């Protein structure tokens, strides 16, 4: 779950992916980037500008936590177990260790640090013990489970490390000439509009420390090791998970009291992603 500012990337229409056809690396990379550039949501400006009522914000946190944040180490672990490539397994093992323990950077398990956001906002954390997923959230979670347990290792790794952890800014994140500067923690939307103390942004700080090299490593692993005949299948799975995610975020926006026509009609107006930064 990202609390970023507006995504400035313009979505690029990708070409159809034909089944059973070999795909070169550059096309594969571009197709994946096109999918990620569509990982925007029309409601996100309301979340990042304080227009969501504070007494409804808990729905957002609860659905994020139950849908994937709490079990994200499990999703990474599934990809690790199924992966036959030692180089990628080592990267996934490092990712899993950090997510599950915080032993490399954050100092605590990431799911627990995520709960510092609602804790700092004075929300009742007991609500997070028995979250009822919205139907669209359940469909998104079901797809994540299927992708990490029943599809190929390449799809599992791409879904977890690129889609769930990534954002619509992947293209600029992978550009060696790009040096994006994160805004001060005091300008974080939860601090600026909802009064959260920066002391509760430990997870945000941890993500900022590893974001650049972490994204590059995830992309290199997928681009270099997915075989040509499997690249189309990976792209199709990424397009599928995007649609489930967009439906999920539509449902969260609705329960938070937002109407699409009331704040804009273009999904590219806003953004969200898997983790908090």
Q: What is the pLDDT of residues 214-229, one digit of tens each?
A: 788 899 999 999 999 9
Confidence of residue 209 (pLDDT cuts 50, 70, 90): confident
In a domain, 7, yes or no: no
Please determine, for residue 11, whether its predicted confidence score (pLDDT) is greater than 60: no
Angle between helices 202-225 and 25-37 (to 10 degrees): 150
Q: Is residue 32 part of a domain?
A: no
Does residue 166 form part of some domain?
yes
Confidence band for 262, pLDDT divided at 50, 70 and 90: low
Residue 4 CB-density burial (10 A; 0-12 exposed, 13-18 middle, 19+ buried):
buried
Looking at the domain assignment, is residue 275 inside a domain? no
Going by pLDDT thresholds of 50, 70 and 90, the confidence category of residue 182 is confident
5 domain-assigned: no
Give me the CATH number covering residue 103: 1.20.910.10
Residue 102 within any structural domain of the chain? yes
Q: Is the pTM here over 0.95, yes or no?
A: no
Query: How far is 110 from 234, CA to CA, in rounded Å?
Result: 27
**Number of domains within the chain:** 1
Q: Is position 209 within any domain?
A: yes
Other Cβ atoms within 10 Å of 265 Cβ, number: 8
Alpha carbons 256 and 128: distance in angstroms, whole number? 17
- Quote the domain boundaries for residue 167: 40-269
**pLDDT of the residue at 112:** 97
Q: Which residues contact 44 (CB under 8 A, 6 or more apart)?
A: 6, 7, 269, 270, 271, 272
Q: What is the mean pLDDT of residues 61-75?
A: 98
> What's the sign of the alpha-carbon dihedral 245, 249, 252, 254?
negative
The answer to whether position 34 is within a domain reads: no
Residue 90 contacts by C-beta under 8 Å, 6 or more apart in sequence?
none
């Amino acid at each position: 779950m990202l609390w970023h500012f507006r995504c400035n990337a313009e979505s690029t229409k990708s070409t159809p992916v034909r089944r059973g056809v070999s795909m070169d690396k550059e096309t594969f990379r571009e197709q994946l980037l096109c999918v990620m550039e569509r990982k925007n949501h029309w409601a996100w400006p309301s979340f990042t500008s304080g227009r969501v009522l504070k007494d409804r914000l808990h729905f957002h946190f609860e659905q994020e936590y139950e849908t994937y944040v709490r079990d994200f180490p499990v999703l990474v672990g599934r990809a690790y177990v199924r992966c036959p490539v030692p180089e990628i397994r080592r990267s996934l093992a490092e990712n899993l260790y950090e997510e599950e323990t915080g032993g490399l950077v954050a100092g605590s398990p990431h799911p627990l640090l995520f709960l510092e956001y609602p804790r700092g906002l004075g929300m009742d954390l007991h609500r997070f013990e028995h979250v009822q997923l919205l139907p669209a959230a359940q469909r998104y979670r079901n797809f994540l489970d299927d992708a990490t347990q029943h599809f190929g290792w390449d799809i599992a790794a791409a879904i977890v490390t690129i889609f769930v952890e990534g954002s619509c800014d992947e293209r600029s994140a992978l550009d060696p000439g790009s040096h994006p500067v994160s805004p001060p923690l005091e300008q974080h939307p939860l601090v600026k509009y909802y009064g959260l103390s920066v002391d509760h942004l430990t997870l945000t700080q941890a993500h900022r420390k590893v974001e650049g090299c972490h994204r590059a490593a995830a992309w290199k692993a997928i681009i270099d090791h997915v075989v040509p005949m499997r690249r189309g299948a990976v792209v199709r799975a990424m397009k599928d998970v995007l649609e489930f995610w967009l439906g999920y975020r539509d449902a969260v926006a609705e329960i938070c009291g937002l109407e699409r026509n009331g704040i804009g009609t273009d999904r590219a107006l806003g953004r969200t992603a898997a983790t908090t930064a």
